[in-house]
Amino acid sequence: STPRNVPLRRALYVGTFIHCKTLQELDICENGVIGVDEHGKIAFLERDAENVDLVTAAHGWGDAHIVRTSSSQFFFPGFIDTHIHASQYPNAGIFGQSTLLDWLNTYTFPLESSLANVNTARVVYSRCISRTLSHGTTTAAYYATNHVDSTNLLADICLDAGQRAFVGRCCMDSLSPDFYKDISADAAIADTKSTIDHIKSIDPTYGLISPILTPRFAPSCTPPLLHALGQLHRSTDLPIQTHISENLGEVQLVRKLFPESTSYAQVYDMYGLLTSKMILAHAIHLSTSERDLIKERDAKISHCPASNSALTSGGAKVRWLLDSGITVGLGTDVSGGYSPSMLEAVRQASLVSRHVAMLDGDAAKLSIEEVLYLGTRGGAKVVGLEDRIGGFEVGKEWDAQLVGLALVPEAKAAQHEGALCAESFKLPSGEGPVDIFGWESWNEKVAKWVYNGDDRNTLSVWVKGRLVHQRS
């Protein structure tokens, strides 16, 4: 990957590119040329370029660096993970038989508290970022911990690695263990401001890294803390992330802790937190009136299907949310979610929607196009960056991955039966009635990627035009 201090060269991305046009439709362009300028922005995009030399000459880009796809490769927008706890990365896959509230006490708080040590944090955060980049995550909304130094370090490491990120210092002054708890609302706000100041000092325009206000969830925040975070949101206009209605026990607890409020969503609304800049993770057990309130406030939802299955939290009714016009993206929710891979989140969104469909009817099923939209364009809207990322259009930034579906040379592929990940291959010309040579459509190749792919298929990753990962 390219270090941050090396200036970018103009680059041409030549060949097949695929991105999400609408929720229902992929835009597939086989003979494309995308010109990315020295600021990492898409300067032009040609759909039917017969001759690349003519295109470069027409734009005066003869000196540009060229990256070409081969026949089984395509450029795809980078994934946007709208909810991930970087601090819980070492626990990915460890949750036993627990559900949310005992999972927090058994696994999560002890691990997060250990990140008070910045050396521990450095190891955890470095690995989390290089791993998520290798899976094609170009933007992530991160929860860190309540420790300022290690949270600031997470921001530093993201900036260094070139990953676009929202970094949240986790606020929690209630119902948390003594060894891992904010001592007061005032202290939580002061620490949050320290992290905001730090990020401002390393990335003054928030061009790559932005702070995000992070009340852990209503049960771990006192009313004064929620109130102060609402004020801070109003004065800074910073985005906010939290959890909502993930688990039935949690919903009951919120009812008990906030008896004056009519619903979980209304608790956040009461404190001025339920705005268009709020990312709500999970949103499984919402009433219709809560859904309508979320829609009215234009708050966004991060659907975390792998986590919701792992912690047996429930099946989020994504179709029901989308039908009401709410903006939805996807989150890995490591380590409630067992995998840092957004491709896994995309796949699980498809499968969970099928489980919901078995109860609620076929309309609940999400298509491949829909789950990929949620993982890219939907996520861009959730984090408020839909004008800059999520798809390939002139003026957007080049946050992309090169996906390859041939693991072995094409000639050998036909004999290679035990392919472990997504693979597209040509079959020998058929002697039977149907010639199946070149049989897969691009839509089918993409479906194979979604259901069988992993990080071996992610060959290169760029953020804002900079190469941030290359498969060795």
Binding site for ligand GUN (CB under 6 A): 85, 100, 104, 108, 216-217, 243, 246, 307, 333, 336
Whole-number Å distance between alpha carbons of 304 and 242: 13
Whether cis (ω within 30° of 0) applies to the bond prior to 130 is no
Instruction: Compute the least distance from the CB of residue 63 to ligand GUN, in Å.
Output: 48
Q: Shortest approach of ligand GUN to residue 208 CB, angstroms?
A: 25
Q: Which of these ranges, 122-130, 270-278, 326-334, 347-355, lies near Fe ion under the rule CB under 5 A? A: 326-334
Could you tell me if 75 and 69 are in contact, meaning their C-beta atoms sit under 8 angstroms apart?
Answer: yes
The structure tokens 């078995």 sit at 358
Minimum CB separation from Fe ion for residue 247, in Å?
Answer: 11
Tell me the closest approach of the beta carbon of residue 307 to Fe ion, in angstroms: 7
Min CB(200)–Fe ion separation in Å: 26
Q: How far is the CB of 38 from Fe ion (least distance, A)?
A: 37
To ligand GUN, the closest distance from the beta carbon of 60 in angstroms equals 51
Q: Which is nearer to ligand GUN, 85 or 377 (CB)?
A: 85
Q: Which stretch binds Fe ion (CB under 5 A): 125-133, 199-207, 258-266, 333-341?
A: 333-341
Distances in whole angstroms, Cα of residue 37 to Cα of each of 13, 32, 464: 11, 16, 10
Extract the runs of DSSP E, i.e. beta strands, from 317-407: 328-330, 400-404
What are phi and psi for residue 155, nearest 5 degrees? Answer: -60, -45
243 vs 445, beta carbon nearer ligand GUN: 243
Residue 108 binding target from Fe ion, ligand GUN, none, CB below 5 to 8 Å by type: ligand GUN
Q: Cα dist. 317→285, 291, 321, 363, 375 in Å?
A: 9, 11, 6, 11, 16
Beta carbon nearer to Fe ion, 185 or 281: 281
Please check whether residue 38 is in contact with residue 65, taking contact to mean a CB–CB distance below 8 angstroms: no
Tell me which of Fe ion, ligand GUN, none is bound by residue 377, counting a contact when its beta carbon lies within the kind-specific cut-off of 5 to 8 angstroms. none
Q: What dihedral do alpha carbons 113, 117, 119, 125 form, nearest 10°?
A: 30
Closer by beta carbon to ligand GUN, 31 or else 222: 222
Q: Which does 217 bind (CB under 5 to 8 A by kind): ligand GUN, Fe ion, none?
A: ligand GUN
Instruction: Evaluate whether 151 touches 195 at the Cβ level (below 8 Å).
Output: yes
How many residues make up the chain in this entry?
472
- For ligand GUN, the closer of residues 328 and 422 by Cβ is 328
Alpha-carbon torsion, ordered 465, 369, 444, 83, to 10 deg: 60
Cα gap 79→399, rounded to integer Å: 9
Residue 246 interacting entry, from ligand GUN, Fe ion, none, C-beta within 5 to 8 Å by type: ligand GUN
CA pair distance 77, 68, nearest whole angstrom = 16
Residue, CB closest to ligand GUN: 336
Query: Interface with Fe ion includes 81 (CB under 5 A)?
Result: no
For ligand GUN, the closer of residues 275 and 313 by Cβ is 313
397 binds Fe ion (CB under 5 A): no
CB closer to ligand GUN, 100 vs 225:
100
* Inter-residue contact 78 to 23 (CB < 8 Å): no
Quick check: 199 and 209 in contact, CB under 8 A?
yes
Which value, in Å, is the radius of gyration of the alpha carbons in the chain? 22
Q: Between residue 273 and residue 312, which ones bind Fe ion under the rule CB under 5 A?
A: 281
Q: Is there a contact between 189 and 247 (Cβ–Cβ < 8 Å)?
A: no
Q: Compute the least distance from the CB of residue 215 to Fe ion, in Å.
A: 12
Where helices occur in 98-213 by DSSP H, the ranges are 100-103, 109-113, 118-134, 148-161, 185-202
Determine, following the binding rule CB under 5 A, whether residue 333 of this chain makes contact with Fe ion. Answer: yes
- Are the beta carbons of 216 and 170 closer than 8 angstroms? yes
- Binding-site size for Fe ion (CB under 5 A) equals 2
Say which residue the tokens 């996520």 belong to.
Answer: 379
Residue 198 binds: one of ligand GUN, Fe ion, none (C-beta under 5 to 8 A by kind): none
Residues that bind Fe ion (CB under 5 A): 281, 333
